[in-house]
């Protein structure tokens, strides 16, 4: 699996360790930076690049890492066509793929032990999208809104 990664200074060390682990597990990892520690770097620089790379490479997935993961998730979600999920447990990593067909996850390096982060990432990478009609319908609503700005009709709510 090709995995695009990016982080900020708070996620720098975890990102680098994660790259090593994923490569050792035969994933093809593309590191979008940062490549050196800079306490004043800006996460959008790296997370937008990781998101853009996933959008351009539909067979890949992405992981962005920050202190909390919040800003990194927001950045990745600004990339057209990308659904990025903040994960904080194995279950949220699984559901991000299974129900939401997320292509990118974001994790908080300051909030979890490294081994847990590895578990979240591997769960995400190994979980397929369910393809259930209800999930597909919801994702199509989001895609239409992203493309046109048009809200789903109220008749679609509460089926």
CATH code for position 87: 3.40.1400.10
Q: Tokens 């620089």 correspond to what residue?
A: 45
Residue partners of 110: CB distance under 8 A and separation at least 6? 10, 67, 68
- Asked whether residue 79 falls in the same domain as residue 146, the answer is no
Residue-range definition of the domain harbouring residue 110: 2-128
- Asked whether residue 38 falls in the same domain as residue 114, the answer is yes
- Asked whether residue 122 falls in the same domain as residue 135, the answer is no
**CA gap 27, 152 in Å, rounded:** 38
Q: Which residues are catalytic?
A: 72, 99
- Asked whether residue 81 falls in the same domain as residue 117, the answer is yes
Choice between 156 and 66, residue whose per-residue pLDDT is larger: 66
- Asked whether residue 26 falls in the same domain as residue 89, the answer is yes
Q: What is the pLDDT of residue 147?
A: 94
Q: For 21-64, what is each residue's pLDDT tens digit?
A: 999 999 999 999 999 999 999 999 999 999 999 999 999 999 99
Global confidence as pTM: 0.95
pLDDT band of 106, cuts 50, 70, 90? very high
- Asked whether residue 102 falls in the same domain as residue 32, the answer is yes
**CA gap 120, 157 in Å, rounded:** 31
Please name which of 117, 95, 107 lies closest in space to residue 68, comparing C-alpha atoms. 107
- Asked whether residue 93 falls in the same domain as residue 113, the answer is yes
- Asked whether residue 110 falls in the same domain as residue 77, the answer is yes
- Asked whether residue 102 falls in the same domain as residue 148, the answer is no
- Asked whether residue 42 falls in the same domain as residue 8, the answer is yes
Total structural domains within the chain: 2
Six-digit token string for 22: 């994923």
Under 8 Å between Cβ of 64 and 75: yes
- Asked whether residue 151 falls in the same domain as residue 82, the answer is no
- Asked whether residue 9 falls in the same domain as residue 76, the answer is yes
């Amino acid at each position: 699996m090709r995995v695009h990664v990016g982080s900020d200074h708070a996620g720098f060390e975890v990102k680098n360790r994660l790259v090593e682990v994923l490569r050792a597990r035969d994933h093809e990892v593309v590191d979008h930076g940062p490549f050196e520690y800079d306490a004043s770097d800006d996460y959008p620089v790296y997370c937008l690049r990781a998101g853009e790379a996933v959008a351009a490479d539909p067979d890949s997935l992405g992981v962005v890492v920050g202190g909390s993961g919040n800003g990194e998730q927001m950045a990745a979600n600004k990339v057209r066509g990308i659904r990025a999920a903040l994960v904080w447990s194995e279950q949220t990593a699984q559901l991000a793929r299974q129900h939401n067909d997320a292509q990118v996850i974001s994790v908080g390096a300051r909030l979890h032990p490294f081994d847990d982060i590895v578990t979240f990432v591997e769960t995400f990478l190994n979980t397929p999208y369910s393809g259930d009609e209800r999930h597909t319908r919801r994702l199509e609503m989001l895609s239409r809104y992203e493309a046109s700005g048009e809200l789903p009709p109220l008749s679609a709510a509460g089926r």
